[in-house]
Structure 1
Amino acid sequence: MPLSILLAFSDKNVTTVNAPFLAPAVTPYTSYDWNYTVIPQAGQNNRTFPYPRGRLLGGSSSANYMALQYGSHENWDKVAKVTGDSGWLWSNMKRYISKHKRFINTPRLDGHDNYEGEPVSLSSQGIDNRVIETTRQLAEFPYNKDTTGINNNLLGVGWIQSSINNGSRVSSSTSYLSASSGRPNLTILLNAMVTKLLPTGSSQGLRTFRNVQFADSRTNSVNESFQVQATREVILSAGSIGSVQILQLSGIGDPEDLKPLGIPVLINNSEVGKNLQDHPLVPNIFTVQDGASMDHVFRNQTAMGAAIINTFGFARLSPPLREGLEDPSAGSTTPHYEMIFANFWLSAAAPLPPTGSFFTILTSVMTPTSRGTIRIHSTNPFDAPLIDPNMLTTEWDIRVMRESIKSAKRFASASAWDGYITGSVGPLFSDSDAILDDYTRQTSSTIFHPTSTASMTTFASKNGVTNPDLTVKGTLGLRIVDLSVLPFIPSCHPQGSAYLIAERAADLVKASQAYFLGDEDLKPQYIVTNII
């Protein structure tokens, strides 16, 4: 079966992409980024800020910060319940982890975890021992030896497992694509940007879109003769922003979005581009003993900033703190918020001061209830869509962020930090809820985890954008395989979740092709299609 991949730029021999410690240099405002900006955010004092997405082979797996988690078992079981498909249950999805781990040597950082593979050498950022010692001193923050979710519990503080091998980033390009690059039926077109899907008729009462129009991304102009034709399926894997933009430009979406632009509505689906979810992020910054942090590295213009973050943690609000609000989490071991520990100034809202040494605890809401949108405002595919994450617009999200800030302050008060932390920056000294909420709205940004803009629902449901087999509702031969299909955002860093979706998608496609072609070689490994 011939395969074509249309992409923007190569990741080959790009030092900033391949060197893990140079991740901050990949995005934003580079040729490897789509360079999106959000519209003014109502929940964040009408501020705008960059919204990085990888524009190269591997997509955002070539531009992220490489934290590797697969999600809680409760997250996946909830997906199965929402979609009515037991194939999304954790008992099935976790079997794909071994297929993904073929490409990654998982590090043994403390001698206590149970992973296989050779150790990966990580650089210390000087606070790692203090972070782990805090877990021994404060019962509120237990140690978790497995932060990936494999052992069914994300709660606690532990070491970050990263998609790094032998000192280099492992992306979907350097792993899956590289392993398949020698196949004679695979064609990769660089500098090719998909502009729309073209209708090719109908079958079984469903629309088909088997022609894909693309452009030379270096020219910023559309050439209608640039097309590829699929014999059986087109798969969109352009992410929660890009896949939606392509659907809308192709006439698949909300008539209220498409008709004003003169785009014929071929599939009327008002939920395309809705339900955008992301993890809002707040920097909680403390001053430390002069010269003890890594800030001097970032001030040295001759030395690229090293993104050395080795530890993070996840926690839930106690029942009294949730009083009066419905808990949106998938279950009792699914976190409400995250803490990330950085031995340097780390804030999207303010640059590093010219002097001083700092320690940052980033906190993020892992179970947000705010919902945003992606909407095109032009028929020009080179015009970025309007991106409205709409973060921090619900009482739940504000409360969780407020309590996460208080939690970060308690963490920093442990005796493990005696003689190191000397004070706090900004309003962190305050115990006023109003002041902390205002601080959140002034300084929050995103942790760059957009999901759910083409959400799955049951086959029978009139809601949603995709079916449980990832096919776009109302179409035949069109699937979406990226994080946009999840009904809700995973309560973790979603890189691993994206790989599991792709692994199951491969089985679903193989099952479909085996049915049409009668080819036993296409028999999938873990296909489960029972409806629940």
Structure 2
Amino acid sequence: MTQSIQDFANLPLDYIVVGGGTAGLAVAVRLSEDTQVNVGVIEAGPSALNSDDGAITVPGRYGETIGSDYDWKFTTTIQPGLGGRSLPWPRGRVLGGTSALNFMAWNRGHRKDYDAWAQLGNTGWGWDDLLPYFRRSETFHPPSAAHQEHYHSAYQSEFNGTHGPLHTTHIKQYGPTHQYWHQTLNALDVPSNPESLAGSNCGVWNLVCTINPDTQERSYAASAYYLPVASRPNLHVLTEATVMKVLLEQKNSWVATGVRVRHDGVVMDIKAAREVIISAGSIQSPQILELSGIGRRDVLEAAGVEVKVDSPNVGENLQDHMMTATIFEVLPTLSSRDDIISDPILSEAADRAYHASQTGPWTVMPCSVAYCSLSQMISPQELSDLSSRADGIARQTGLARDRLIAQQFGYNRGQIEYIFDVGNWSPYHNSEPGKKYATMLQMLQYPFSRGSIHIPPRTGDSEVTIDDEPIIDPRYYLEHGAIDKKMMALGQRMTDRICSTEPLSKIILGRVLPPVAEPGREEQAHEDFVTNYTVTDWHPVGTCAMGGREGIKTGVVDERLRVYGVRGLRVIDASIMPLQVGAHIQATVYAIAEKGAVMIREDWSDST
């Protein structure tokens, strides 16, 4: 790992990757497999590979790094659709990026999610095209026959990778309520899914996690992709260095020639002989493009940035998964992660068990998952009304993207994800001493809500820089997004049905958040709850989307992930997704990185 910016600047770099996170490290490692090229990675955060105290690596300690020095600690603007609240938006600021902070969920969207990308004109981005890259990123460790029988775990080997950098597995042991999960959902006509990674996000299953089963440690971009090849002589990583902008030169057209970087108070321009690849994520990739002069003319002019490429969709098309946390009081005999965190004696015992034998509470994850289609949750008439409303939105906007979202109402796709876990997950409910709680997380998968991320306008004569936090405005539930609020409110009914169905209902004493509504006010109470308690599910996408057949009119990059209007510049991360997928996005981001690296190597092979 390079320590000095001067040393880094003197390297004969062919590729510079901006961002050593989930996608960035995967891209860099794959590019550096070609020994004839030099690859440089620039990461704003530190490396935690030798300094982590377990907050990153120990699975059961998920969430501890949120709000820490490893987090950018972004916040949204005030959201009128959320009752005037502003939300924290955690993003990884560490080598490995958000893969070091996330909850290690590993699943894929429905095959129609990715086929929709291809239908927009993004050739090579359908399910069948992406499946080899999903598999290439992972080494899946199948559960034993005893595990499958006891925990209802399942898999189909042809859909799982066997030689990839990331370790994925079914967790060793589950929380106390998992034994009731499948039977309860099955009783509600939600069948168990034999392989959630096979192109169907519907049904109930056990979530696979990015955990190395041999060490019981988080498997993430830094530990899985980078660390095994860290000594590779043509792979160079500079941490705690901030990319301020991409350097563009006019050579008949604009060409990316390198980046301006600040490290330890020193600012230097660093050159790339072939390409600059931006992998800074859905918030900072558009920010860096705009600071470089690529973006909406009005945004750039307001910020005092010279307009080099008028690209109207940079920072637009922001989509996120919305989440609510419904809290139930449960039997006081149930153990939870809350007990471990609040009791030093239990915490010490958990530490001992984990370090001695890789067992105990720190190996338990929230993996009781169900993806329910709207037809499983609401009446045929309500579904028809929602479908007509969605069709109307698509007609009004005239956007192919909205037509594809509206079509999913007629398919059996998992529109709402449910995860049940013992413990209080809500930032809005204070636990009462002596009481035990469980949480039903509910997440909308295919939103109509559209927001934006842009650099702020300058104030006075001051120049807008990378240090000015971008304006993050998801516009939850506004305008056409009002249909999202309706679906989330209707989804609350399913939450209540699940938790009042045996055998799960046997351990539930009652709902505490939201309080049970008076008869006749249930529908309004559900909508009020969604407005006042929705938070992010940490899955922002779309802000540098692939434009498909409409090109720069609707996107920022082409199907080869090349930025419109600039040669030698690509974006490879979650921001290129034109439409949200019905899944936690980690696996999709790795697949994007794997495919992006192959395309770069193909393009340069074709040009020589």
- What letter is aligned with 1:124? Y
- What letter is aligned with 2:583? C
- What letter is aligned with 2:235? L
- Corresponding position of 1:236: 278
- Corresponding position of 1:524: none
| Deviation by residue 1:132-151 (Cα, 9 ceiling, x = unmatched) | 22133221x21113223x2x
Deviation at 1:97, TM superposition (A): 2.5
Deviation at 1:427, TM superposition (A): 3.2
- Corresponding position of 2:136: 99
Identity %: 27
Conservation of the 8 A alpha-carbon contact between 2:170 and 2:207: no
- What letter is aligned with 2:452? T
Summarize the alignment of residues 11-410 of structure 1 with structure 2, pairs less than 5 Å apart: 11-13=48-50, 14=52, 15-27=54-66, 29-85=67-123, 87-102=124-139, 104-107=140-143, 109-111=147-149, 112-115=154-157, 121-139=171-189, 141-148=190-197, 150=198, 152-166=199-213, 167-203=216-252, 206-216=253-263, 223-224=266-267, 226-294=268-336, 295-300=338-343, 303=347, 308-318=365-375, 319-322=380-383, 323=385, 324-326=388-390, 328=405, 331=408, 332-377=411-456, 379-393=464-478, 394-410=481-497
Deviation at 1:162, TM superposition (A): 0.6
TM-score with structure 2 setting the length:
0.79
| Deviation by residue 1:324-363 (Cα, 9 ceiling, x = unmatched) | 3226266423221110111111113334343411111110
Gap change, CA 1:106 and 1:381, over 3 Å in 2: farther
CA distance in 2, matches of 1:373, 1:342: 32
Conservation of the 8 A alpha-carbon contact between 1:280 and 1:392: no
Conservation of the 8 A alpha-carbon contact between 2:546 and 2:578: yes
Conservation of the 8 A alpha-carbon contact between 2:323 and 2:441: yes
Conservation of the 8 A alpha-carbon contact between 2:82 and 2:534: yes
Q: Does 1:415 align with 2:488?
A: no
Conservation of the 8 A alpha-carbon contact between 1:83 and 1:456: no
Gap change, CA 1:84 and 1:97, over 3 Å in 2: closer
- Corresponding position of 1:472: 563
Deviation at 1:195, TM superposition (A): 1.0
SS in 2 for 1:363: strand
Gap change, CA 1:74 and 1:468, over 3 Å in 2: same
Q: Does 1:481 align with 2:572?
A: yes
- What letter is aligned with 2:339? H
CA distance in 1, matches of 2:582, 2:540: 12
- Corresponding position of 1:522: none
Gap change, CA 1:418 and 1:368, over 3 Å in 2: closer
CA distance in 1, matches of 2:170, 2:195: 16
Deviation at 1:293, TM superposition (A): 4.1
Conservation of the 8 A alpha-carbon contact between 1:212 and 1:228: yes
| Worse overlay, 430-439 or 60-69 | 430-439
Conservation of the 8 A alpha-carbon contact between 1:342 and 1:361: yes
Deviation at 1:259, TM superposition (A): 0.9
SS in 1 for 2:510: strand
| Worse overlay, 154-163 or 316-325 | 316-325
Gap change, CA 1:262 and 1:421, over 3 Å in 2: same
- Corresponding position of 2:401: none
Gap change, CA 1:301 and 1:473, over 3 Å in 2: farther
CA distance in 2, matches of 1:460, 1:388: 25
Question: Please, what is the CA RMSD of the aligned residues?
Answer: 2.1
Gap change, CA 1:268 and 1:159, over 3 Å in 2: same
CA distance in 1, matches of 2:75, 2:254: 33
CA distance in 1, matches of 2:567, 2:218: 36
| Worse overlay, 321-330 or 273-282 | 321-330
CA distance in 2, matches of 1:251, 1:215: 19
Conservation of the 8 A alpha-carbon contact between 1:335 and 1:367: no
CA distance in 2, matches of 1:68, 1:236: 24
CA distance in 2, matches of 1:30, 1:491: 29
Gap change, CA 1:485 and 1:88, over 3 Å in 2: same
Higher helix fraction (1 or 2): 2
Deviation at 1:432, TM superposition (A): 1.8
CA distance in 2, matches of 1:160, 1:266: 45
Deviation at 1:242, TM superposition (A): 1.0
